[in-house]
Amino acid sequence: MKQRIITGVIAAAAFLPIVLIGGLPFILLVYAMSAIAVIEVLKMKHIPALSLPGLLSLLLVFIMLVPQDGATGGQLFGLEKFEYLGLFVLLFLVVTVMTKNHFTFEDAAYCILLTLYIGFGFYYFIETREAGGLMYVFFALLITWASDSGAYFIGRSFGKRKLWPDISPNKTVAGFYGGVGSAVLVAAIFLFFLDFRAPALWVLFSAAVLSIAGQVGDLAESALKRHYGVKDSGNLLPGHGGILDRTDSWLFVFPLLHMLQLL
């Protein structure tokens, strides 16, 4: 626990000032976090980051992070993102031929899905900071952190019935509801400070949806790790695991923040 607290304080001291600054430093930070998360997921399947499939995965996730709006209209060298996605599908299939099926169709599908999973979530992290502003970033982050903390403490105090023991044996039903309640409470506080483009009841309902999404995001990563027999996605953050271990909930929360039209 001591190691976890120390790491959390150091990580927050490095992360939060860059989020506050925004702009290019923030975008570069998100690109770096995305790259590390991709490398962590590649490692689970024993695909080297410096291999051709690994480099293609990194390049595709960087393309996924390119802003949709602006002077280019979301295009990069004249191509839309979905066109790049189609191109990379073909490139991954070419690699299966080049390697004589040592890099299989399943491996290709894995690389494509992991880049969509990570790239989609982190793209909306950037979009929230750029389009919505700092307060919306902290709204999403605090919703997630409150949900995690509420689930942990209420689950430990009152949790008896397991939520999904085959995937994450420590999560409980009481913790799930505690997380949702904590998120709604945070949203109620934010209503006094943020001018949401939605009625108050919709904001509170959305907070509950975001909490559930964040908890599902955590379970989705747990399912991935359990399938590949790893405890943590990485060891970059002692006591916490890897970048994906710390951001798995964000990858579900930030896209939904936009889909619920709270910005």
Read off the pLDDT of residues 40-59 as tens digits, 9 standing for 90 and up: 999 999 999 999 999 999 99
For residue 101, give Cα distances in angstroms to 56, 92, 172, 180: 17, 11, 42, 46
Amino acid letter, residue 231: K
pLDDT for 92: 97
pLDDT for 192: 87
Domain residue spans of the chain: 2-259
pLDDT for 70: 53
Looking at the chain, list the stretches that DSSP marks H as alpha helix, in order from N- to C-terminal side: 2-21, 23-44, 52-64, 81-98, 105-127, 134-158, 173-190, 200-228, 243-247, 250-259
Query: What parts of the chain have a pLDDT lower than 50?
Result: 71
pLDDT for 34: 97
pLDDT for 82: 86
What does the block give as tokens for 193? Answer: 């400070």
Strand partners, 79: 76
**Torsion of Cα atoms, 224 then 229 then 233 then 235, to 10°:** 170
For residue 263, give Cα distances in angstroms to 61, 70, 71, 133, 202: 24, 18, 22, 9, 12
pLDDT for 69: 62
Cα–Cα distance for residue pair 36/118, rounded to 1 Å: 10
Amino acid letter, residue 153: F
